[in-house]
Amino acid sequence: MATIQIQQLAKTYAQDVHAVKGIDLDIADGEFIVLVGPSGCGKSTLLRMIAGLETITSGQLHIGDRQVNHLEPSERDIAMVFQNYALYPHMTVYNNLAYGLKNRGYRQAEIEERVQKTAKMLEIEPFLARKPKALSGGQRQRVAMGRALVREPAAFLLDEPLSNLDAKLRVQMRVEIKQLQKRLHTTTLYVTHDQLEALTLADRLVVMNQGRVEQVGSPMEVYKRP
């Protein structure tokens, strides 16, 4: 669990593409923030900077009381889930979950315990010995979530994690994500195009446009018509 403090954060890609233009945002410990805005407004870039997958052009990023601008992704205590799940196709579900822990030098017994606990929580225990291609879309999505949660990160970043699922599964997973986040109280930043997801998941909604934050408020405040 941790706060995330974003101060004047900016990203300029090559050829002078100003993707993020000085964002300020204070995220509370355990808060669920949903990030919305038109395609190309800089949502993914912002998430990737927080995760450490993209360099920060200027500004400050604090996770908890640490300034993390120059830390490697593995040193940030953050986990990210992508739209396309990005599972390792040649590994079993078990090893997809265990991989990040092995890399971080966890002991075998600790890995075993955490993988089992996470698999139980997400109800993917029956599939631990399978490879991703032998899973349904919803099961893969759970494995992707599990791979992030198994590390018990301070913060959780999700970039349209449900967009590849059919409508029925999307509703089900949305409810499950909310329950899980409430239970674990993990600080969460969630990107979506889906207004219903935004309404039901967000403690606070952040509306981005052209690399800037346009509006911040409760879902009711943001979506109510004047």
Nearer to ligand ADP, 31 or 160 (CB): 160
Nearest distance from residue 183's CB to ligand ADP, in Å? 24
**Which of 175, 141, 172 shows the shortest CA–CA distance to 158?**
141
Nearest distance from residue 196's CB to ligand ADP, in Å? 19
Give Cα separations from 14 to 19, 73, 184 (angstroms): 10, 22, 39
28 is a contact residue toward ligand ADP (CB under 6 A): no
**Rounded Cα–Cα distance for residues 160 and 194 (Å):** 9
Please list every residue from 39 through 98 that binds ligand ADP, using CB under 6 A.
39-45, 91-92, 94-95
Nearest distance from residue 192's CB to ligand ADP, in Å? 11
Among 17, 134, 175, 196, contact with ligand ADP (rule: CB under 6 A): 17
CA 166, 210, 61, 34 dihedral sign is negative
43 CB-contact burial (10 Å; exposed 0-12 / middle 13-18 / buried 19+): buried
32 is a contact residue toward ligand ADP (CB under 6 A): no
Nearest distance from residue 82's CB to ligand ADP, in Å? 12
**Rounded Cα–Cα distance for residues 187 and 152 (Å):** 11
Q: What's phi and psi for 163, nearest 5 deg?
A: -70, -15
Stretch that binds ligand ADP, among 36-44, 56-64, 178-186, 214-222 (CB under 6 A): 36-44
Bridge partners, residue 36, by sequence: 207
Please list every residue from 99 through 158 that binds ligand ADP, using CB under 6 A.
128-129
Contact positions vs ligand ADP (CB under 6 A): 13, 17, 19, 37, 39-45, 91-92, 94-95, 128-129
